[in-house]
Amino acid sequence: MARATIIGSGPNGLSAAVALARGGYEVQVLEAADTIGGGLRTTASTLPGFVHDVCAAVLPSALTSPFFQAFGLADRVEWIHPDISYAHPLDDGRAGIAWRDIERTAAGLGVDERAWLALLRPLSTHVEGVVDFTGNQMLRVPRNPLTALRFALRMLDQGTPLATRTFRTDEAAALIAGVLAHPPTPLPTLAGAAAGLLLAAEGHADGWMYPRGGAQSIADSLVADLEAHGGAVESGRHIVDLAALDWGDPDRGDVLLLDTSPKLMLTHPDIPARYARAIRNFRYGPGAAKVDFALDGPIPWSNPEVGLAPTVHIGGTRAEVWASENDVARGRINDRPYALTVQPSIFDPTRAPEGKAVLWAYIHVPHGSDFDATEVITRQVERFAPGFRDLILAHHSVPASSREAINPSEIGGDILGGAFTIPQAIRRPVLSTAPWRTPMRGVYLASASTPPGPGVNGMAGWHAARTALKDAGHRATLDDLFG
């Protein structure tokens, strides 16, 4: 039996492992940390009984992912489907509320009702086409060209200064700005618009759901399927030199897949000079400074509807959000930064003791920054929820400079696997119709540094595994493996 060795047990490493094990390979996954899951890990990082996600928390792309649909993730993990996908509080108790029901959302935006529907209804109604266009390798003709065209036109509208003309109310302008600010890019930019519009469309399609008990449950379900098909995961194996790794013999069909930063490939003894240059030129983006809070009770938002939204974008008006993200691009941290926050315990009692709560929050910071975001996040939440500070029982801060020690793939605290720009979306990490295949025989890259990029969707791992199976002469479709 051919052997597959996979480095990294994040969502892409585990999706590749499952696919290869089902495809007939003897699979071993090597994980650097003592616990499995990579960005899917869930820990008690503050106080006993308070459960926090290490990286991924709310996962709008998980159930729209073709890989996870074939895998049956919706039935393997218990999901929470809130009525509100995300909220954006403003001063004086105002807020933009993105309900899963797009009509309800638009009706709450006053004079911007028609503009919101015009922007997002064609995308949310055809979200499968949007996922196909954005969630696969980009150098191909889209299967749904009309949806792809609609998406591209809206990218141009929201990714340029034209965006200021779309909405007239502060609520609608801030609501879209908050979701477009998810990737750490200057605003407005096409890259931010591409990522944000997909997320916004998913918010009005299946909604922004999250797994009960934490993201770890997804990793656990993948490992269970892997083990059921003869595979295994070994934790505490930090591979820093491929030359010292005995991963098998490519002459008999053995393969090596890397759910890691592309930098690890530079340690391969047979890497061609041209490919090595491309990997060295691959850029990493701003980092994430994250803080987990254990709270003595629910957050007292000035606008009660914000308390019904697991995901809350904090940053004030569109102008403030743009200023914050543009400061990061210039190497600065704004005094009132955009903060991406999640309050999972409002619908998931497993996350905190009875009557208590947790908050997951991060801001974008310059690459490799050692900035502790605890105080600025506390001030920003307090701005829209007076009394928040008094609820804090404990907190756990992880600056961007420390993230690489927790997950070696997060270079300089970059949680997206590389700078999120349009050129690097196409050249990720090299310009190729099959960027998961490397010039080294039997070696494949299966991380978020390959298309479709970041997000808990397992697609980069699936594309890498499918490429490996195809190179070995095996038919490789999701129906073949899971049908």
Residue tagged 């927790």 (tokens): 406
The answer to whether the beta carbons of residues 361 and 293 sit under 8 Å apart is yes
Which CATH fold topology does 66-210+285-406 show? Polyamine Oxidase; Chain A, domain 2 (3.90.660)
Report d(CA 18, CA 258) in Å as an integer: 14
Rounded CA gap, 411 and 261, in Å? 8
* Domain ranges across the chain: 3-40+216-282+416-482, 66-210+285-406
Residue 216's Cβ-count burial label (10 Å; 0-12, 13-18, 19+) is buried
pLDDT digits (tens, 9 = 90+) for 342-379: 999 999 999 999 999 999 999 999 999 999 999 999 99
> What type of residue sits at position 138?
M
Question: What H or E segment, with its residue span, contains residue 127?
Answer: helix 127-134
- CB burial of 436-445 (b: ≥16 within 10 Å; e: otherwise) equals bbbebebbbb
Output the pLDDT for position 426. 85
CATH architecture for residues 3-40+216-282+416-482: 3-Layer(bba) Sandwich (3.50)
- What gap in Å lies between CA 282 and CA 169, rounded to an integer? 40
Alpha carbon dihedral 207, 213, 219, 220, in 10-degree steps, equals: -130
pLDDT (0 to 100) of residue 143:
78
Calpha distance 481→241 (Å, rounded): 32
Q: How far apart are CA 286 and CA 400, in angstroms?
A: 9
Give pLDDT, residue 425: 83
- Taking a C-beta distance cutoff of 8 angstroms, is the pair 5, 257 a contact? yes
Is 351 in a helix, a strand, or coil? helix
Do residues 356 and 296 lie in contact, with contact meaning Cβ atoms separated by under 8 Å?
yes
Q: Do 447 and 417 form a contact (C-beta atoms < 8 A)?
A: yes
Q: Which residues of the chain have pLDDT under 50?
A: none
pTM of the model: 0.95
- pLDDT at residue 252, rounded to an integer: 93
| Residue whose structure tokens are 């008690």 | 44
The per-residue pLDDT for 475 is: 82
pLDDT of residue 131: 86
